[in-house]
Structure 1
Amino acid sequence: MTTPITDDAARVFADPTAYTDEPRLHAALTHLRANAPVSLVDHPPYRPFWAITRHADIMAIEHDNVLWINEPRPVLAPADADDLQRSLLDAGMGLRTLIHMDDPHHHKMRTIVSDWFRPKAMRAMKTRIDELATRYVDKMAHIGPVCDFAQEIAVNYPLYVIMSLLGLPESDFPRMLRLTQELFGGDDDEYRRGLTPEKQLPVLLDFFDYFAELTVARRAQPTEDLASTIANATIDGAPLSDIDTASYYVIMATAGHDTTSAAISGGMRALIEHPDQRERLRADLSLMPTAVEEIIRWVTPVKEFMRTATADTEVRGVPIAKGESAYLSYVSANHDEDVFDDPFTFDVGRDPNKHLSFGHGVHFCVASALARMEITSFFTALLPRLEAIGLAGVPQLAATTFVGGTKHLPVHYRLRF
């Protein structure tokens, strides 16, 4: 075994603003991959963790879901937020989604919605998603020639898709958007509701109150929507607990659109900043499948997940003790020089593209097919009508340690009606 390495560059993971400064972020990640791919980070307000930055190591950790588990620390959060989450769970109130669970319970819970995202179901959804994509391209045409693409288009289109699947009324969409931004935006000055976990707790309680009412309604009168599937699900013959039901709604309503909106806004930005690739794709839409994978790699909306060791082990020769946590940097893995040729080149024809934006192993994103379809439908609808586009201001990225991307993208453009 080698001596544990602590590299100052790894402090970038303990700084939510690093994701707003991409040159600084990628300089640190490139250095870590080359010099300290397994580095100890001990930097308040976070408890110590091991930063893992190489693609192969992250794949190996995610593949071994017995040695490396999600509980009790599935994402990086300040120590006081971790403590609050544990106390809430002990009181039967804390958030417990698929990302908080391990097998066998995780597998049983995942099965509840898996049929909704299988190929047959995706084919049935395609017509509706294509219609929604066209609706938002039409909206873009009518509000032009200038808009904040991230806030006016990229946020609302996937929100509409997932809320429609859940069967929620359109009048509630703005509330869901605000709560999602507050839940994932706890590190961002624009989105967070408060500066402490206690002040941010009402966001979660608002979600729970809303979905508790929804559960009662769908159990009384089931309908043909995803919300009814969740409300009436059973595990081993018993209905889900109130906290598991509410948590399921939360992960579907938030991760089901926030990550995709980040991919679409970041993808639009990439196509603007790489006009040769935009024109290449516009001239040959058969490249759309590889272009979508490259957008997802390039943006990497989910920045990290955490895993905790169930036994003493090692990664790349570095000893990691039982109970210690590893931070899996998907952003770094998606730029690993050992896996990607010219990783800092945006290439709509990149193939192969072994990105880890959807994770790997048993926790691979259950709705990945939906995300791919939404991105594909939107850019397939947009590009044939797009005559010109450029930045109308400086893009702004969200401060985060978990999920995020381009939150403001002012653009000027010309679209055919």
Structure 2
Amino acid sequence: MSVDPAPLVDPRTYVDGVPYDLLAELRAAAPVVWVDEPPLLGLPGGPGFWLVLRHADVTEVLKQPGLFSSRLGATQIRDPATPADLDYVRRMMLNMDPPEHGRLRRPVARSFTPRAVAALEASIRANAAALVDRVIGDADEGTCDFARDLAADLPLLTLADVLGMPEPDRWLLYDWSNRVIGFQDPDYAVSAAFDPEAGTPAAREALRHRPAPDADGRMPDPRTRAGMADLYAYAHLLAESKRRDPGPDVMSILLAQRGEDRLTVDEFENMFWLFAVAGNETIRNGLPGAMIALLEHPDELARLRDERALFDTAVDELLRWWTPVMVFRRTATADTTVAGVPVRAGDKVVVSFASANRDERVFAEPDRLDLTRQPNPHLVFGYGPHFCLGAHLARCQLRALFEALLARTSTLTYAGRPAYLRSNFQRGVKRLPIRWRRR
């Protein structure tokens, strides 16, 4: 192949943005390409993987968990460091295949139905309005960091509600997400934004277990139990309080399961990890991504300001255009083919949501933001049995924050350059300075 896919595997590539031109060239040339895994940023090399680029082929892979397993090698591109690490992360719902996956998914699914999200909607809208009011205050104009001041806190407030977590402890979620998603980025790998004096005694106790950087400044791998010891300590302390005083939250629901549905200790810990990190990170980066989309398309921003009914289609288009989670891995369970390309049992098969959501075969003018785009079969929330439980909740938060912000402002522009996360997995925004003028 004349087009070299090597930049796609290097996290440093994404500091300058997603290489959509490269993805388009690769997608035009072949539906599936082989990508090598050289040693990078202190991580050992790997065996390489098949990268699936086109929308139709991505959906085919994701809807066949028996052939393309989440469990066999877990769902991150890089293999866990040891067999013990792999065995531990296999207890996470994200890294399970049916029917075991369904056993964990069913009890909590009812917390994320449209009806359940509607019950949370008033709280989400109130939180969004309060955050916007806090940023704008009585000033006629000003600047803020949209990524930190608005986009980071709304998902934390929402997730604290969902988990039944005391609100003062919510910035623990921020640090945990930074360390997991940003472990390839020196700004995030040792994140410590939480103020222990502002949290509960349980939070302060959990911080006693927080790993420390080694002599080279590196934290332990966050995919290991040792790498997130403070998260797991907090999970058990929260569980103790839920057993004493259960509520309608997800943690109480999980702890109430009995018989065959009862969670093991490893399953409980991994479920808390999944909600605390994945439940926060996708929308946390989807929100500033949506802001960048609108700033890059000022005509569409003006339309949305004038035609609030556009939100019905705009939310999904903003998510498609940004695509916070760029890739996910599966492992072939048998010799097979993907789009006619032979794949051997044990090969890594990585689906590219970033590429599939810009596939010209499905989306007309895919690089253009079109807030009226219909249909919009984007894959931001995945496809098949692992379709994201929090999709409705994510859409609700995006809509609530932008409705509140547009209601209070007359103009929004860049106040500086965005800073992007060094990651080949999450399309993250570390800083997004914006200038606003009040309405």
- TM-score, structure 2 normalization: 0.87
* 1:73 alignment counterpart: 73
Q: Which whole-Å CA distance do the structure 2 matches of 1:304 and 1:96 have between them?
A: 21
Residue number among 17, 23, 36 corresponding to 1:22 in the alignment: 17
**SS of structure 1 residue aligned to 2:413:** strand
1:157 positional shift? 0.8
Identity %: 34
Moved more, 164-173 or 300-309: 164-173
Q: Which whole-Å CA distance do the structure 2 matches of 1:243 and 1:94 have between them?
A: 9
**SS of structure 1 residue aligned to 2:349:** strand
Please list every run of 5 or more consecutive structure 2 residues that lacks an aligned counterpart in the other structure.
39-44, 191-212
> How do 1:4-403 residues align onto structure 2 when only pairs under 5 Å count?
9-22=4-17, 25-44=19-38, 45-79=45-79, 82-84=80-82, 86-88=83-85, 90=87, 93-94=88-89, 96-142=91-137, 145-193=142-190, 198=220, 200=222, 201=224, 202-234=226-258, 236-237=260-261, 239-403=262-426
Q: Which residue identity does 2:26 align to in structure 1?
A: L
| Contact 2:74-2:86 at 8 Å conserved across structures | no
What RMSD in Å do the two structures reach over aligned CA positions? 1.9
Deviations 1:301-334 (A, max 9, x none): 1111111111111112210011111110000000
Q: Which whole-Å CA distance do the structure 2 matches of 1:62 and 1:290 have between them?
A: 25
1:223 positional shift? 2.2
Inter-CA distance 402–217: structure 2 relative to 1 (3 Å threshold): same
Q: Which whole-Å CA distance do the structure 2 matches of 1:361 and 1:199 have between them?
A: 29
1:289 positional shift? 1.8
1:221 positional shift? 2.6
**SS of structure 1 residue aligned to 2:220:** helix
Q: Which residue identity does 1:98 align to in structure 2?
A: M
Moved more, 141-150 or 394-403: 141-150
1:405 positional shift? 2.2
**SS of structure 1 residue aligned to 2:411:** strand
Inter-CA distance 94–64: structure 2 relative to 1 (3 Å threshold): closer
Q: Which whole-Å CA distance do the structure 1 matches of 2:390 and 2:311 have between them?
A: 19
Moved more, 37-46 or 406-415: 37-46
Inter-CA distance 331–136: structure 2 relative to 1 (3 Å threshold): same
Q: Which whole-Å CA distance do the structure 1 matches of 2:90 and 2:160 have between them?
A: 20
Inter-CA distance 313–412: structure 2 relative to 1 (3 Å threshold): same
| Contact 1:70-1:101 at 8 Å conserved across structures | yes
* 1:3 alignment counterpart: none
**SS of structure 2 residue aligned to 1:39:** strand
Deviations 1:153-210 (A, max 9, x none): 1011111111122111122112221111111111112101367673545442111111
Moved more, 69-78 or 161-170: 69-78
Moved more, 202-211 or 180-189: 202-211
Inter-CA distance 7–166: structure 2 relative to 1 (3 Å threshold): farther
Deviations 1:33-62 (A, max 9, x none): 011321111222333110111111001111
Higher helix share: 1
| Contact 1:76-1:401 at 8 Å conserved across structures | no
Moved more, 351-360 or 116-125: 116-125
1:214 positional shift? 1.3
Q: Which residue identity does 1:137 align to in structure 2?
A: V
Moved more, 162-171 or 360-369: 162-171
Q: Which residue identity does 2:185 align to in structure 1?
A: D
Please list every run of 5 or more consecutive structure 1 residues that lacks an aligned counterpart in the other structure.
1-5
- TM-score, structure 1 normalization: 0.92
